[in-house]
Structure 1
Amino acid sequence: MQERISNRRTLPKAGAAAVAATMTAPAGRAWAGEAPARDRLGDELRGTLGHMHALGVVGAQGQVSAGPRDVVARAGAASLGAPAPMPAGGRFRIGSNTKPFVSAVVLQLAGEGRLSLDDTVERRLPGVVTGNGNDGRRITIRQLLQHTSGLYNYIQDIAAVQTAQEYLRHRYDHYDPAALVALAMRHEPLFAPGTHWSYSNTNYVLAGMIIRRVTGRSWAEQVRDRITRPLGLRDTYFPYDHPSLPRSSARAYQQFTPGAALLDVTELNPTAADAAGGLVSTTADLCRFWRALQRGALLRPPQMADLHRTVLAETYQDVRRGMRYGLGIFWVPTRDGGFWAHPGDVPAPARSTA
């Protein structure tokens, strides 16, 4: 599942024009021949997106994978003050839905014996995680992927996500991955590695750096060659320094402070998010990716087990009690059981995912 909605408590603060939800039916659930069930699912999806639009989201698009068929819906407009409807299949920044892609690459490398999840960060990136109590010798790759490293979340020091004025000033700034990690190294760790859980985008920037160190190629190239090309995800890519989205995309908006006007935040240099949240995609591509991931098409059984081995998402219990985190994916409990997912939010407010 992917949502470009802030994880903060009140939805209208997000104000995003490109909101998407993608879900894959649980393994073993029978959809074939259940047209009435799909019709009900479509009604529910349209109702949910309409409710989001009524709460203040400019436009919303959604897609649900239901066996051999997909249910697609939209609500609202593609931009403020314009009559064009929300595109049903437009591209948008998927934010932290990038993390499952990056985690899958790392797990593939582990399955190939090119690294171990128990390798320390220091072994793979000597001298990168150090200073102010940070110690890469005590942090493993597994802890990076599971957000149990204790490392400070660098996104809180990125100027463009702090205020509307800073966004306009810094939205085109370029960042190298090492510079993003260096922002986090200015701060002491939140806790000793492995003792607690706290969401930190620093973890996935480091994971991307490890991919490059192990393979000699960038995380984005590895995602392309190992995931998006084999799965035919033609609309999923990392834009590098290119700050714009295709013309067919909806505009994105954010409300930086309660009561403020929505600001158009479509233009952004994605290097600020890097491997933590830099990909662009569509709801259709995300459905296909999540289907492949959960059906074991991308990972071997031992790595699938690692992917789904969770810990309590301690600092997200006010979002949904019982939420847990595996290696790049959330387990979200529901009355009927639960589902695997990951939210995303770009630009990222201080509390939300990136």
Structure 2
Amino acid sequence: MPPPRTPRTLLAIPLSLVLLGLAPAASQGPTGQGSATQGPAAPAAAASPAAAAMDAALALLVTRGKAPAASLLARDASGSRFADAGTGMARSDHFRAGSITKTFIATVVLQLAAEHRLSLSDSVDDHLPGLVRGEGNDGRRLTLRALLTHTSGLYDFTADTKGTVPLTPLQAVRIALTHPPADRGRFAYSNTNYVLLGMVVEQVTGHSYAIEAERRIITPLRLTGTSFPGARTSLPSPHGRAYAADGSDATELDPRVAGAAGELISTLADLDRFYAALLGGDLLPSRWMREMLNTRAAHGSYGMGLFPVKLPCGTTVWGHNGRITGSYVRTAATVDGRRVLTFRVNTDGVTDPDLEPALLAAEFCPRTS
């Protein structure tokens, strides 16, 4: 799982120009683009400018982004809107959510902090004594806060495994420890951080991170399509096919290639519901929600399991992306959780990096006429 592109303030391109660039592609050939509707299909003429912009941006994930299929689910006070493009993807499909797992893990850790079962200033050694040693790495000098914010300097084990080798958490950490650390205190995205956090959760609670996330998040929110598969290589039904960057079928995958850094399976509706609940204050006390959104440690790049992106209209959205072989997912939401968008493609990523910002802008900076 390569790290997400470092979040940054987007160029202030007027949305009208974005639409001009998207509209022609939206009408090309048989893309299979579905109309974005709430409930039964609505006539095309009834679509709002914002809906049309979002549909057009989604279609480009297939035509210009080279994804076999793409879909999205947007949620706000008026209900939800689903759209799809390409073929072989349904609203209810299960898919691998990759690094969106990190938001779940961070939420569990912050809940434990709120319960005074751990402190963010605890060292890694306080919970996993002697584990992080070697090549200049020292768990006595690393805090849980540094793991949550990706400022530990620990090497990303997936840089060696390319996200294709199933590992135990201990094996993943040991691979990372064969490399010297980067500068502590500097933001450097590393999946090793969240593998260690998964181990800390188990040490503190006596249960795996999966059991704790299920008990604390999945069950209370009724996320019926969300699961931590462990070593199970198949996806729950219903699901479509997933494709690696070279076009090979990657539907079957051992989730231990990612573990606590990217194991999660979910659905569009569940991810929308989770981020709405989290940012809406349903999962963390306000003090700990502020901690989660505090990007000071990572110099504005990352909070704790969430990162911000400032859109051209001035709105800042919060969320995470997830990339794992055969799947790319992105969830973004307003800071109050009242408006959420999740989109996915059934391949490793989007070849044109401008398409994701255009899709976020189409949803969160809508035209009114």
- Between the aligned partners of 2:47 and 2:318, the Cα distance in structure 1 is 20
The amino acid that maps onto 1:109 is L
- Between the aligned partners of 1:5 and 1:124, the Cα distance in structure 2 is 26
Q: Is 1:179 equivalent to 2:179 in the alignment?
A: no
Say which of 283, 295, 310 aligns to 2:268.
283
- Between the aligned partners of 1:65 and 1:245, the Cα distance in structure 2 is 25
Tell me by how many angstroms 1:289 deviates. 0.3
Structure 1 match to 2:95: 92
Structure 2 match to 1:114: 117
Say which of 295, 312, 318 aligns to 1:340.
318
Which secondary structure state, in structure 1, belongs to the residue aligned with residue 103 of structure 2? helix
Say which of 50, 55, 63 aligns to 1:54.
63
Identity within the alignment, %:
41
TM-score (norm 2): 0.73
- Between the aligned partners of 1:312 and 1:306, the Cα distance in structure 2 is 11
- Between the aligned partners of 1:108 and 1:88, the Cα distance in structure 2 is 31
User: How many aligned positions are there?
Assistant: 288
**Contact 2:168–2:256 at 8 Å: present in 1 too?**
yes
- Between the aligned partners of 1:52 and 1:129, the Cα distance in structure 2 is 41
- Between the aligned partners of 1:329 and 1:291, the Cα distance in structure 2 is 13
Q: Do the aligned partners of residues 5 and 102 (structure 1) sit closer, same or farther apart at CA in structure 2, a change above 3 Å counting?
A: closer
Q: Is 1:299 equivalent to 2:249 in the alignment?
A: no
Tell me by how many angstroms 1:343 deviates. 0.7
Per-residue CA deviation, residues 197-251 of structure 1 (Å, 9 max, x unaligned), is 0100000000000000000000010110000100000000011111111342121
Q: What pairs up with 1:218-233 in 2 under 5 angstroms?
A: 218-233=208-223
CA RMSD, Structure 1 to Structure 2 (Å):
2.5
- Between the aligned partners of 1:234 and 1:42, the Cα distance in structure 2 is 28
Q: Is 1:156 equivalent to 2:159 in the alignment?
A: yes
Structure 1 match to 2:352: none
Tell me by how many angstroms 1:39 deviates. 3.6
Per-residue CA deviation, residues 170-215 of structure 1 (Å, 9 max, x unaligned), is 5xx4x21111111101110011x22x10100000000000000000
The amino acid that maps onto 1:50 is A
**Contact 1:46–1:73 at 8 Å: present in 2 too?**
yes
The amino acid that maps onto 2:114 is G
Say which of 71, 74, 84 aligns to 1:64.
74
Q: Is 1:272 equivalent to 2:257 in the alignment?
A: yes
Q: What pairs up with 1:1-354 in 2 under 5 angstroms?
A: 7=5, 39-55=48-64, 56-78=66-88, 86-158=89-161, 161=163, 173=166, 175-191=167-183, 193-194=184-185, 196-255=186-245, 261-311=246-296, 324-336=301-313, 337-347=315-325
Per-residue CA deviation, residues 255-303 of structure 1 (Å, 9 max, x unaligned), is 2xxxxx4121221110121110100000100000000000110001110
The amino acid that maps onto 2:52 is D
Structure 2 match to 1:24: none
Which secondary structure state, in structure 1, belongs to the residue aligned with residue 236 of structure 2? coil
TM-score (norm 1): 0.76
- Between the aligned partners of 1:51 and 1:119, the Cα distance in structure 2 is 46
- Between the aligned partners of 2:135 and 2:46, the Cα distance in structure 1 is 55
**Contact 1:212–1:219 at 8 Å: present in 2 too?**
yes
Q: Where does structure 2 lack aligned partners over 5 or more consecutive residues?
A: 7-44, 328-347, 350-369
- Between the aligned partners of 1:65 and 1:182, the Cα distance in structure 2 is 41
- Between the aligned partners of 1:93 and 1:179, the Cα distance in structure 2 is 22
- Between the aligned partners of 2:177 and 2:140, the Cα distance in structure 1 is 14
- Between the aligned partners of 2:275 and 2:47, the Cα distance in structure 1 is 19
- Between the aligned partners of 1:303 and 1:341, the Cα distance in structure 2 is 16
Q: Do the aligned partners of residues 42 and 205 (structure 1) sit closer, same or farther apart at CA in structure 2, a change above 3 Å counting?
A: same
Give runs of ≥4 in structure 1 deviating > 2 Å: 4-8, 36-45, 311-314
